Structure 1
Amino acid sequence: PYSTNPPCYTVEDSQIHPATQLRIVLIGGRRSDGSPSGKSSIGNFILDQHVFDTSRRTAQSEARQQEVFSRQVTVVDTPGWRWGDSREETPKLDQIEIQNSVHRCPPGPHVFLLVIPISLHFSQRVKASLKQHFELFNVDVFSHTIVLFTAVAQCSDEEVEFKIRRNPVLQWILQQCGNRKHFLNISNGEDRDQVKKLLEKIETLITNNGFRHCPVDRSQGETLRKEMRDLTERASKRFDQVQKQRNKLNKLISGGLQASI
Protein backbone atom coordinates (compact mmCIF):
# COMPACT_ATOMS: atom_id res chain seq x y z
CA PRO A 1 0.00 0.00 0.00
CA TYR A 2 2.99 2.34 0.24
CA SER A 3 4.37 4.22 -2.75
CA THR A 4 8.00 3.88 -3.75
CA ASN A 5 8.61 7.49 -4.86
CA PRO A 6 9.92 9.94 -3.82
CA PRO A 7 12.65 8.37 -1.64
CA CYS A 8 12.58 8.70 2.12
CA TYR A 9 15.52 10.36 3.87
CA THR A 10 16.95 9.86 7.32
CA VAL A 11 16.97 13.02 9.42
CA GLU A 12 20.76 13.10 9.33
CA ASP A 13 20.96 12.84 5.52
CA SER A 14 18.24 15.27 4.58
CA GLN A 15 19.29 18.75 3.48
CA ILE A 16 15.76 19.87 2.60
CA HIS A 17 14.49 22.98 4.38
CA PRO A 18 10.85 23.54 3.41
CA ALA A 19 8.67 26.27 4.82
CA THR A 20 6.43 23.85 6.71
CA GLN A 21 7.86 21.23 9.05
CA LEU A 22 6.07 18.84 11.37
CA ARG A 23 7.97 16.75 13.91
CA ILE A 24 6.00 13.82 15.33
CA VAL A 25 6.88 11.31 18.06
CA LEU A 26 4.84 8.08 18.20
CA ILE A 27 4.34 6.71 21.72
CA GLY A 28 2.27 3.94 23.28
CA GLY A 29 2.29 0.46 24.70
CA ARG A 30 2.12 -3.06 23.42
CA ARG A 31 -0.17 -5.89 24.43
CA SER A 32 0.63 -8.19 27.36
CA ASP A 33 1.23 -11.06 24.92
CA GLY A 34 4.03 -8.99 23.36
CA SER A 35 2.23 -8.27 20.09
CA PRO A 36 2.99 -4.82 18.66
CA SER A 37 0.75 -1.78 19.03
CA GLY A 38 1.14 -0.76 15.41
CA LYS A 39 3.28 2.37 15.90
CA SER A 40 5.70 1.31 13.16
CA SER A 41 2.79 0.66 10.78
CA ILE A 42 1.37 4.06 11.64
CA GLY A 43 4.72 5.69 10.89
CA ASN A 44 4.77 3.99 7.49
CA PHE A 45 1.17 5.00 6.88
CA ILE A 46 1.80 8.68 7.65
CA LEU A 47 4.97 8.89 5.55
CA ASP A 48 3.48 6.71 2.78
CA GLN A 49 6.74 4.77 2.77
CA HIS A 50 7.78 1.41 4.24
CA VAL A 51 10.64 2.82 6.33
CA PHE A 52 9.95 1.30 9.76
CA ASP A 53 10.36 -2.46 10.25
CA THR A 54 6.99 -3.93 11.24
CA SER A 55 8.27 -7.51 11.52
CA ARG A 56 9.89 -7.00 14.93
CA ARG A 57 9.45 -5.07 18.15
CA THR A 58 10.96 -1.58 18.04
CA ALA A 59 14.07 -1.62 20.26
CA GLN A 60 15.44 1.86 19.51
CA SER A 61 13.91 5.23 18.75
CA GLU A 62 14.24 5.83 15.01
CA ALA A 63 13.53 8.98 12.97
CA ARG A 64 12.52 9.15 9.31
CA GLN A 65 11.60 12.15 7.19
CA GLN A 66 9.47 12.58 4.09
CA GLU A 67 7.47 15.24 2.27
CA VAL A 68 3.77 14.65 2.86
CA PHE A 69 1.12 16.96 1.43
CA SER A 70 3.71 19.73 0.88
CA ARG A 71 4.92 19.46 4.48
CA GLN A 72 8.31 18.12 5.55
CA VAL A 73 7.24 15.51 8.12
CA THR A 74 9.60 13.82 10.57
CA VAL A 75 8.24 10.76 12.38
CA VAL A 76 10.02 9.18 15.36
CA ASP A 77 9.10 5.58 16.21
CA THR A 78 9.77 4.49 19.81
CA PRO A 79 9.89 1.28 21.86
CA GLY A 80 6.55 0.46 23.47
CA TRP A 81 5.95 -0.49 27.07
CA ARG A 82 3.52 -3.30 27.90
CA TRP A 83 0.07 -1.87 28.57
CA GLY A 84 -0.65 -2.36 32.26
CA ASP A 85 2.99 -2.72 33.35
CA SER A 86 4.48 -0.30 35.85
CA ARG A 87 7.45 1.77 34.71
CA GLU A 88 9.73 -0.35 36.94
CA GLU A 89 8.71 -3.41 34.88
CA THR A 90 9.83 -1.74 31.64
CA PRO A 91 13.48 -2.52 30.81
CA LYS A 92 15.80 0.37 31.63
CA LEU A 93 17.13 0.52 28.07
CA ASP A 94 13.58 0.87 26.72
CA GLN A 95 12.92 3.70 29.17
CA ILE A 96 16.06 5.51 28.01
CA GLU A 97 15.13 5.03 24.35
CA ILE A 98 11.65 6.45 24.99
CA GLN A 99 13.20 9.46 26.71
CA ASN A 100 15.71 9.85 23.90
CA SER A 101 12.96 10.03 21.26
CA VAL A 102 12.61 13.81 21.67
CA HIS A 103 16.30 14.18 20.75
CA ARG A 104 15.78 12.31 17.46
CA CYS A 105 13.95 15.27 15.87
CA PRO A 106 15.88 18.44 16.76
CA PRO A 107 15.16 21.05 17.93
CA GLY A 108 12.21 19.12 19.44
CA PRO A 109 8.86 17.48 18.57
CA HIS A 110 5.74 19.46 17.80
CA VAL A 111 3.40 16.67 18.80
CA PHE A 112 3.20 13.26 20.46
CA LEU A 113 0.76 10.79 18.93
CA LEU A 114 -0.45 8.34 21.56
CA VAL A 115 -1.24 5.25 19.47
CA ILE A 116 -4.14 3.21 20.86
CA PRO A 117 -5.51 0.15 19.00
CA ILE A 118 -9.29 0.45 19.22
CA SER A 119 -9.53 -3.29 19.95
CA LEU A 120 -7.52 -2.92 23.17
CA HIS A 121 -9.23 -3.33 26.57
CA PHE A 122 -8.41 -0.41 28.87
CA SER A 123 -8.36 -0.96 32.63
CA GLN A 124 -7.28 1.10 35.65
CA ARG A 125 -3.87 -0.64 35.44
CA VAL A 126 -3.45 0.76 31.95
CA LYS A 127 -4.26 4.24 33.26
CA ALA A 128 -1.61 3.98 36.00
CA SER A 129 0.91 2.58 33.51
CA LEU A 130 0.30 5.42 31.08
CA LYS A 131 0.75 8.08 33.77
CA GLN A 132 4.03 6.54 34.93
CA HIS A 133 5.49 6.23 31.44
CA PHE A 134 4.49 9.79 30.52
CA GLU A 135 6.62 10.91 33.48
CA LEU A 136 9.69 9.79 31.51
CA PHE A 137 9.45 13.10 29.68
CA ASN A 138 10.51 16.38 31.27
CA VAL A 139 7.76 18.36 29.58
CA ASP A 140 3.99 18.43 29.90
CA VAL A 141 3.47 15.76 27.27
CA PHE A 142 -0.32 15.75 27.61
CA SER A 143 -0.59 19.34 26.31
CA HIS A 144 1.30 18.29 23.16
CA THR A 145 -0.51 14.97 22.60
CA ILE A 146 -3.20 13.81 20.20
CA VAL A 147 -4.77 10.41 20.90
CA LEU A 148 -4.55 8.35 17.73
CA PHE A 149 -7.04 5.49 17.67
CA THR A 150 -6.14 2.81 15.12
CA ALA A 151 -7.79 -0.20 13.53
CA VAL A 152 -6.51 -2.88 11.18
CA ALA A 153 -10.01 -4.05 10.26
CA GLN A 154 -13.01 -2.11 9.03
CA CYS A 155 -14.30 0.11 11.82
CA SER A 156 -16.50 3.21 11.68
CA ASP A 157 -16.11 6.51 13.55
CA GLU A 158 -19.39 5.69 15.32
CA GLU A 159 -17.91 2.45 16.70
CA VAL A 160 -14.89 4.36 18.00
CA GLU A 161 -17.11 6.94 19.71
CA PHE A 162 -19.24 4.17 21.22
CA LYS A 163 -16.18 2.50 22.73
CA ILE A 164 -14.98 5.82 24.20
CA ARG A 165 -18.37 6.48 25.80
CA ARG A 166 -18.32 3.05 27.46
CA ASN A 167 -14.75 3.28 28.82
CA PRO A 168 -13.92 5.69 31.69
CA VAL A 169 -10.16 5.19 31.21
CA LEU A 170 -10.33 6.27 27.57
CA GLN A 171 -12.41 9.27 28.63
CA TRP A 172 -9.76 10.17 31.22
CA ILE A 173 -6.95 9.88 28.65
CA LEU A 174 -8.81 12.15 26.24
CA GLN A 175 -9.49 14.69 28.97
CA GLN A 176 -5.77 14.83 29.80
CA CYS A 177 -5.05 15.45 26.11
CA GLY A 178 -7.61 18.23 25.70
CA ASN A 179 -10.04 15.83 23.97
CA ARG A 180 -7.80 15.84 20.88
CA LYS A 181 -8.21 12.62 18.93
CA HIS A 182 -8.03 11.15 15.46
CA PHE A 183 -8.91 7.78 13.96
CA LEU A 184 -6.78 5.97 11.38
CA ASN A 185 -7.97 2.83 9.65
CA ILE A 186 -4.68 1.39 8.39
CA SER A 187 -6.48 -1.40 6.54
CA ASN A 188 -7.40 1.25 3.98
CA GLY A 189 -3.92 2.30 2.85
CA GLU A 190 -5.23 4.13 -0.22
CA ASP A 191 -7.24 6.64 1.82
CA ARG A 192 -4.64 9.39 2.19
CA ASP A 193 -7.33 11.84 3.27
CA GLN A 194 -7.09 10.25 6.74
CA VAL A 195 -3.47 11.41 6.96
CA LYS A 196 -4.21 14.85 5.53
CA LYS A 197 -6.83 15.47 8.23
CA LEU A 198 -4.40 14.24 10.91
CA LEU A 199 -1.72 16.69 9.75
CA GLU A 200 -4.30 19.49 9.83
CA LYS A 201 -5.16 18.60 13.44
CA ILE A 202 -1.46 18.64 14.32
CA GLU A 203 -1.12 22.11 12.78
CA THR A 204 -4.10 23.30 14.82
CA LEU A 205 -2.43 21.99 17.99
CA ILE A 206 0.83 23.76 17.07
CA THR A 207 -1.07 27.00 16.54
CA ASN A 208 -2.86 26.64 19.88
CA ASN A 209 0.54 26.05 21.55
CA GLY A 210 1.82 29.35 20.22
CA PHE A 211 3.89 27.65 17.48
CA ARG A 212 6.24 26.29 20.15
CA HIS A 213 7.70 22.82 19.94
CA CYS A 214 8.36 20.75 23.06
CA PRO A 215 11.44 22.09 24.86
CA VAL A 216 14.40 19.71 24.73
CA ASP A 217 17.37 19.73 27.12
CA ARG A 218 20.52 19.02 25.08
CA SER A 219 22.53 18.11 28.16
CA GLN A 220 19.92 15.49 29.03
CA GLY A 221 20.37 14.02 25.56
CA GLU A 222 24.11 13.66 26.15
CA THR A 223 23.45 12.03 29.54
CA LEU A 224 20.99 9.57 27.96
CA ARG A 225 23.47 8.61 25.26
CA LYS A 226 26.13 7.96 27.91
CA GLU A 227 23.68 5.81 29.90
CA MET A 228 22.88 3.80 26.77
CA ARG A 229 26.57 3.23 26.03
CA ASP A 230 27.24 2.13 29.61
CA LEU A 231 24.27 -0.26 29.65
CA THR A 232 25.24 -1.72 26.26
CA GLU A 233 28.88 -2.20 27.34
CA ARG A 234 27.85 -3.93 30.58
CA ALA A 235 25.46 -6.21 28.68
CA SER A 236 28.22 -7.03 26.17
CA LYS A 237 30.65 -7.90 28.98
CA ARG A 238 28.06 -10.16 30.63
CA PHE A 239 27.47 -11.89 27.31
CA ASP A 240 31.22 -12.43 26.81
CA GLN A 241 31.55 -13.89 30.32
CA VAL A 242 28.68 -16.30 29.72
CA GLN A 243 30.23 -17.37 26.40
CA LYS A 244 33.63 -18.00 28.05
CA GLN A 245 32.02 -20.05 30.81
CA ARG A 246 30.04 -22.03 28.24
CA ASN A 247 33.16 -22.73 26.14
CA LYS A 248 35.08 -23.78 29.25
CA LEU A 249 32.29 -26.14 30.28
CA ASN A 250 32.11 -27.61 26.77
CA LYS A 251 35.87 -28.30 26.83
CA LEU A 252 35.59 -30.02 30.23
CA ILE A 253 32.70 -32.16 29.01
CA SER A 254 34.52 -32.96 25.77
CA GLY A 255 37.71 -33.84 27.70
CA GLY A 256 35.77 -36.08 30.09
CA LEU A 257 34.15 -37.94 27.24
CA GLN A 258 37.48 -38.51 25.49
CA ALA A 259 39.07 -39.78 28.75
CA SER A 260 36.27 -42.30 29.18
CA ILE A 261 36.71 -43.72 25.69
Structure 2
Amino acid sequence: MANVDDVSSCGQNGSLPALRIVLIGGRVDRCPSGKSSTGNFILGQDVFDTSRRTAQSEARQQEVLGRRVTVVDTPGWLWHYSREDTPELDRIEIQNSVHLCPPGPHVFLLVIPVGLHLSQDIRPSLKEHLELFNVDVFSHTIMMFTADAPCSDKMIESKIRRRPTLQWILQQCGNRKHVLNISDREDEDQVKMLFEKIETMVTNNGGRHCSVDISHGNALREKLQVLVEKASKRFGDVQKQRRKLKIQIEGRSEVSLFLC
Protein backbone atom coordinates (compact mmCIF):
# COMPACT_ATOMS: atom_id res chain seq x y z
CA MET A 1 0.00 0.00 0.00
CA ALA A 2 1.34 3.43 -0.82
CA ASN A 3 0.37 7.06 -0.60
CA VAL A 4 0.90 9.74 -3.22
CA ASP A 5 4.01 11.78 -2.46
CA ASP A 6 5.69 12.86 -5.68
CA VAL A 7 9.32 13.72 -4.99
CA SER A 8 9.71 15.17 -8.47
CA SER A 9 7.41 18.08 -7.59
CA CYS A 10 8.53 21.13 -5.63
CA GLY A 11 7.99 21.57 -1.93
CA GLN A 12 6.89 24.68 -0.08
CA ASN A 13 8.19 28.02 -1.34
CA GLY A 14 9.67 26.34 -4.42
CA SER A 15 12.17 24.26 -2.40
CA LEU A 16 12.97 20.72 -3.42
CA PRO A 17 10.83 18.12 -1.65
CA ALA A 18 12.15 15.97 1.16
CA LEU A 19 13.62 12.52 0.61
CA ARG A 20 13.30 9.60 3.03
CA ILE A 21 15.80 6.78 2.66
CA VAL A 22 16.11 3.47 4.53
CA LEU A 23 19.41 1.59 4.32
CA ILE A 24 19.06 -2.19 4.39
CA GLY A 25 21.30 -5.19 3.82
CA GLY A 26 23.04 -8.19 5.25
CA ARG A 27 26.50 -8.48 6.72
CA VAL A 28 29.28 -10.97 7.04
CA ASP A 29 30.38 -11.93 10.54
CA ARG A 30 33.07 -9.50 11.80
CA CYS A 31 32.87 -7.58 8.53
CA PRO A 32 30.99 -4.24 8.31
CA SER A 33 28.18 -3.96 5.79
CA GLY A 34 28.93 -0.35 4.88
CA LYS A 35 25.41 0.96 5.56
CA SER A 36 26.53 3.47 8.18
CA SER A 37 29.31 4.79 5.92
CA THR A 38 26.80 5.08 3.08
CA GLY A 39 24.46 7.10 5.29
CA ASN A 40 27.29 9.42 6.30
CA PHE A 41 28.24 9.93 2.66
CA ILE A 42 24.71 10.75 1.55
CA LEU A 43 24.17 13.22 4.40
CA GLY A 44 27.67 14.70 4.11
CA GLN A 45 28.24 14.38 7.85
CA ASP A 46 29.54 11.68 10.22
CA VAL A 47 26.19 11.18 11.91
CA PHE A 48 26.27 7.37 12.10
CA ASP A 49 28.86 5.54 14.20
CA THR A 50 30.96 3.34 11.91
CA SER A 51 33.13 1.94 14.71
CA ARG A 52 30.49 -0.50 15.91
CA ARG A 53 27.77 -2.71 14.55
CA THR A 54 24.39 -0.98 14.21
CA ALA A 55 22.25 -2.56 16.92
CA GLN A 56 19.12 -0.48 16.46
CA SER A 57 17.54 1.55 13.69
CA GLU A 58 18.57 5.21 13.80
CA ALA A 59 17.25 8.15 11.78
CA ARG A 60 19.30 11.25 10.95
CA GLN A 61 18.39 14.37 8.94
CA GLN A 62 20.47 16.90 7.04
CA GLU A 63 20.01 19.50 4.33
CA VAL A 64 21.53 18.00 1.20
CA LEU A 65 21.62 19.69 -2.21
CA GLY A 66 18.76 21.98 -1.26
CA ARG A 67 16.41 19.36 0.16
CA ARG A 68 15.68 17.85 3.56
CA VAL A 69 16.98 14.28 3.56
CA THR A 70 16.23 11.66 6.19
CA VAL A 71 18.37 8.53 6.26
CA VAL A 72 17.57 5.55 8.47
CA ASP A 73 20.34 3.08 9.27
CA THR A 74 19.27 -0.44 10.26
CA PRO A 75 20.81 -3.55 11.83
CA GLY A 76 22.20 -5.93 9.25
CA TRP A 77 21.30 -9.60 9.27
CA LEU A 78 23.89 -12.28 8.49
CA TRP A 79 23.54 -12.88 4.75
CA HIS A 80 23.39 -16.67 5.04
CA TYR A 81 21.08 -16.79 8.07
CA SER A 82 17.39 -17.50 7.79
CA ARG A 83 15.05 -14.93 9.29
CA GLU A 84 14.33 -17.29 12.18
CA ASP A 85 18.04 -17.34 13.05
CA THR A 86 18.20 -13.53 13.21
CA PRO A 87 17.75 -12.31 16.81
CA GLU A 88 14.22 -11.14 17.56
CA LEU A 89 15.42 -7.71 18.65
CA ASP A 90 17.17 -7.23 15.29
CA ARG A 91 14.05 -8.29 13.41
CA ILE A 92 11.90 -5.80 15.31
CA GLU A 93 14.45 -3.00 14.81
CA ILE A 94 14.51 -3.68 11.06
CA GLN A 95 10.71 -3.50 10.92
CA ASN A 96 10.68 -0.34 13.02
CA SER A 97 13.01 1.48 10.62
CA VAL A 98 10.17 2.56 8.32
CA HIS A 99 8.37 4.16 11.26
CA LEU A 100 11.34 6.48 11.91
CA CYS A 101 10.73 8.43 8.68
CA PRO A 102 6.98 9.11 8.58
CA PRO A 103 4.86 8.97 6.52
CA GLY A 104 7.14 6.31 5.01
CA PRO A 105 10.33 5.89 2.97
CA HIS A 106 10.64 6.82 -0.68
CA VAL A 107 13.38 4.27 -1.23
CA PHE A 108 15.22 1.33 0.28
CA LEU A 109 18.92 1.20 -0.59
CA LEU A 110 20.17 -2.39 -0.52
CA VAL A 111 23.84 -1.86 0.38
CA ILE A 112 26.35 -4.36 -0.98
CA PRO A 113 30.12 -3.77 -0.71
CA VAL A 114 31.77 -4.26 -4.10
CA GLY A 115 34.25 -6.81 -2.76
CA LEU A 116 31.62 -9.00 -1.12
CA HIS A 117 30.96 -12.40 -2.68
CA LEU A 118 27.36 -13.51 -2.33
CA SER A 119 26.56 -17.14 -3.06
CA GLN A 120 23.19 -18.30 -4.36
CA ASP A 121 22.04 -19.56 -0.95
CA ILE A 122 21.50 -15.97 0.26
CA ARG A 123 18.40 -15.59 -1.91
CA PRO A 124 15.87 -17.09 0.53
CA SER A 125 17.46 -15.13 3.39
CA LEU A 126 17.11 -11.84 1.50
CA LYS A 127 13.49 -12.53 0.58
CA GLU A 128 12.58 -13.56 4.14
CA HIS A 129 14.15 -10.49 5.71
CA LEU A 130 12.54 -8.08 3.26
CA GLU A 131 9.16 -9.63 4.02
CA LEU A 132 9.52 -8.12 7.50
CA PHE A 133 8.36 -4.82 6.01
CA ASN A 134 4.97 -6.18 4.85
CA VAL A 135 5.28 -4.24 1.57
CA ASP A 136 6.68 -4.94 -1.88
CA VAL A 137 10.14 -3.72 -0.93
CA PHE A 138 11.84 -4.68 -4.20
CA SER A 139 9.66 -2.27 -6.19
CA HIS A 140 11.01 0.56 -4.01
CA THR A 141 14.63 -0.62 -3.87
CA ILE A 142 17.85 0.47 -5.56
CA MET A 143 20.84 -1.87 -5.41
CA MET A 144 23.64 0.18 -3.86
CA PHE A 145 27.23 -0.94 -4.50
CA THR A 146 29.75 0.69 -2.18
CA ALA A 147 33.48 0.92 -2.80
CA ASP A 148 36.42 2.62 -1.10
CA ALA A 149 38.09 3.42 -4.44
CA PRO A 150 36.90 4.63 -7.85
CA CYS A 151 34.66 1.99 -9.41
CA SER A 152 32.99 2.52 -12.78
CA ASP A 153 29.61 1.26 -13.91
CA LYS A 154 31.48 -0.85 -16.46
CA MET A 155 33.39 -2.63 -13.68
CA ILE A 156 30.18 -3.27 -11.76
CA GLU A 157 28.37 -4.55 -14.83
CA SER A 158 31.25 -6.94 -15.49
CA LYS A 159 31.06 -8.18 -11.90
CA ILE A 160 27.30 -8.67 -12.15
CA ARG A 161 27.67 -10.71 -15.34
CA ARG A 162 30.00 -13.09 -13.48
CA ARG A 163 27.75 -13.43 -10.42
CA PRO A 164 24.33 -15.09 -10.87
CA THR A 165 23.24 -13.94 -7.40
CA LEU A 166 23.93 -10.30 -8.24
CA GLN A 167 22.05 -10.75 -11.52
CA TRP A 168 19.08 -12.10 -9.57
CA ILE A 169 19.11 -9.27 -7.01
CA LEU A 170 19.39 -6.62 -9.72
CA GLN A 171 16.47 -8.20 -11.56
CA GLN A 172 14.37 -8.16 -8.37
CA CYS A 173 15.19 -4.46 -7.99
CA GLY A 174 13.92 -3.64 -11.48
CA ASN A 175 17.50 -3.30 -12.80
CA ARG A 176 18.06 -0.25 -10.61
CA LYS A 177 21.59 0.16 -9.26
CA HIS A 178 24.00 2.84 -8.12
CA VAL A 179 27.73 2.82 -7.37
CA LEU A 180 29.08 4.91 -4.51
CA ASN A 181 32.77 5.56 -3.90
CA ILE A 182 32.48 6.36 -0.22
CA SER A 183 36.11 7.44 0.05
CA ASP A 184 35.48 10.57 -2.06
CA ARG A 185 33.29 12.69 0.21
CA GLU A 186 33.86 15.77 -1.97
CA ASP A 187 32.14 14.27 -5.02
CA GLU A 188 28.58 15.59 -4.66
CA ASP A 189 27.70 14.39 -8.16
CA GLN A 190 27.48 10.84 -6.81
CA VAL A 191 24.71 11.90 -4.45
CA LYS A 192 23.03 14.09 -7.06
CA MET A 193 22.87 11.13 -9.46
CA LEU A 194 21.47 8.93 -6.69
CA PHE A 195 18.69 11.44 -5.96
CA GLU A 196 17.85 11.56 -9.65
CA LYS A 197 17.55 7.77 -9.75
CA ILE A 198 15.31 7.84 -6.67
CA GLU A 199 13.07 10.45 -8.28
CA THR A 200 12.82 8.37 -11.46
CA MET A 201 11.92 5.26 -9.46
CA VAL A 202 9.26 7.10 -7.45
CA THR A 203 7.79 8.58 -10.62
CA ASN A 204 7.65 5.11 -12.20
CA ASN A 205 5.86 3.92 -9.06
CA GLY A 206 3.13 6.46 -9.67
CA GLY A 207 4.71 9.14 -7.47
CA ARG A 208 4.29 7.03 -4.36
CA HIS A 209 6.27 6.26 -1.25
CA CYS A 210 5.92 3.19 0.96
CA SER A 211 3.17 3.84 3.47
CA VAL A 212 3.41 2.67 7.07
CA ASP A 213 0.75 1.42 9.45
CA ILE A 214 0.78 3.67 12.54
CA SER A 215 -0.86 1.01 14.71
CA HIS A 216 1.81 -1.47 13.63
CA GLY A 217 4.49 1.03 14.60
CA ASN A 218 2.94 1.50 18.03
CA ALA A 219 2.79 -2.27 18.52
CA LEU A 220 6.46 -2.58 17.55
CA ARG A 221 7.49 0.10 20.05
CA GLU A 222 5.57 -1.66 22.82
CA LYS A 223 7.24 -4.95 21.94
CA LEU A 224 10.63 -3.27 21.89
CA GLN A 225 9.99 -1.81 25.32
CA VAL A 226 9.11 -5.23 26.74
CA LEU A 227 12.24 -6.81 25.24
CA VAL A 228 14.47 -4.00 26.54
CA GLU A 229 13.00 -4.33 30.03
CA LYS A 230 13.53 -8.09 29.99
CA ALA A 231 17.12 -7.66 28.82
CA SER A 232 17.72 -5.03 31.51
CA LYS A 233 16.34 -7.37 34.16
CA ARG A 234 18.53 -10.24 32.96
CA PHE A 235 21.57 -7.94 33.03
CA GLY A 236 20.66 -6.83 36.56
CA ASP A 237 20.26 -10.43 37.70
CA VAL A 238 23.64 -11.36 36.24
CA GLN A 239 25.33 -8.41 37.95
CA LYS A 240 23.67 -9.31 41.22
CA GLN A 241 24.85 -12.91 40.93
CA ARG A 242 28.39 -11.74 40.15
CA ARG A 243 28.47 -9.51 43.23
CA LYS A 244 27.21 -12.37 45.37
CA LEU A 245 29.85 -14.72 43.97
CA LYS A 246 32.57 -12.11 44.51
CA ILE A 247 31.58 -11.73 48.18
CA GLN A 248 31.63 -15.50 48.62
CA ILE A 249 35.10 -15.77 47.04
CA GLU A 250 36.47 -12.90 49.13
CA GLY A 251 34.95 -14.47 52.25
CA ARG A 252 36.63 -17.80 51.55
CA SER A 253 39.95 -16.04 50.96
CA GLU A 254 39.71 -14.30 54.34
CA VAL A 255 38.94 -17.61 56.06
CA SER A 256 41.92 -19.26 54.37
CA LEU A 257 44.25 -16.47 55.52
CA PHE A 258 42.90 -16.73 59.08
CA LEU A 259 43.50 -20.49 59.20
CA CYS A 260 47.04 -20.01 57.93
Q: TM-score, normalised by structure 2?
A: 0.91
Pairwise CA distance, 1:125:
2.0
Which residue of 2 is the match for residue 174 of structure 1?
170
Other structure's SS at 1:213 match: strand
Which of 207, 214, 220 is the matching residue for 1:211? Answer: 207
Pairwise CA distance, 1:100:
0.3
RMSD over equivalenced CA pairs, Å: 1.4
Which residue of 1 is the match for residue 122 of structure 2?
126
CA distance in 2, matches of 1:185, 1:90: 29
Which residue of 2 is the match for residue 3 of structure 1?
none
CA distance in 1, matches of 2:21, 2:156: 23
Which residue of 2 is the match for residue 5 of structure 1?
none
CA distance in 1, matches of 2:141, 2:166: 14
Pairwise CA distance, 1:19:
4.5
Please give the per-residue CA displacement for 1:185-232, whole angstroms capped at 9, x wherever unaligned: 112222111110000000011111111110100011011101111111
Which residue of 2 is the match for residue 257 of structure 1?
253
Which residue of 2 is the match for residue 108 of structure 1?
104
Please give the per-residue CA displacement for 1:117-142, whole angstroms capped at 9, x wherever unaligned: 11110112222211111111111000
Pairwise CA distance, 1:255:
1.2
Identity of aligned residues (%): 69
Which residue of 2 is the match for residue 27 of structure 1?
24
**Map of 1:228-243 to 2, 5 A cutoff?**
228-243=224-239
CA contact (8 A) 1:85 1:125 kept: no
CA distance in 1, matches of 2:64, 2:151: 25
Unaligned 5+ runs, structure 1:
1-15
Pairwise CA distance, 1:90:
1.3
For these two proteins, the number of residue pairs brought into alignment is 245
Which residue of 1 is the match for residue 46 of structure 2?
50
Which residue of 1 is the match for residue 9 of structure 2?
none
**Alignment partner of 1:164 is 2:153:** no
Pairwise CA distance, 1:169:
0.8
Which residue of 1 is the match for residue 78 of structure 2?
82
Q: TM-score, normalised by structure 1?
A: 0.90
Q: Which amino acid is the alignment partner of residue 19 of structure 2?
A: L
Other structure's SS at 1:107 match: coil
CA distance in 1, matches of 2:44, 2:96: 25
Which residue of 1 is the match for residue 58 of structure 2?
62
Larger deviation, residues 196-205 vs 181-190: 181-190
Pairwise CA distance, 1:97:
0.6
Other structure's SS at 1:36 match: coil
Please give the per-residue CA displacement for 1:25-77, whole angstroms capped at 9, x wherever unaligned: 00011113x22111111111111111111111111111111121222111111
CA distance in 2, matches of 1:184, 1:155: 8
**Alignment partner of 1:189 is 2:189:** no
CA distance in 2, matches of 1:195, 1:218: 30
CA contact (8 A) 2:110 2:141 kept: yes
Please give the per-residue CA displacement for 1:5-32, whole angstroms capped at 9, x wherever unaligned: xxxxxxxxxxx99551111000011113
CA distance in 2, matches of 1:244, 1:187: 46
CA distance in 1, matches of 2:162, 2:256: 71
| Structure with higher RCO (Cα < 8 A, 6+ apart) | 2
Other structure's SS at 1:135 match: helix
CA contact (8 A) 2:54 2:75 kept: yes
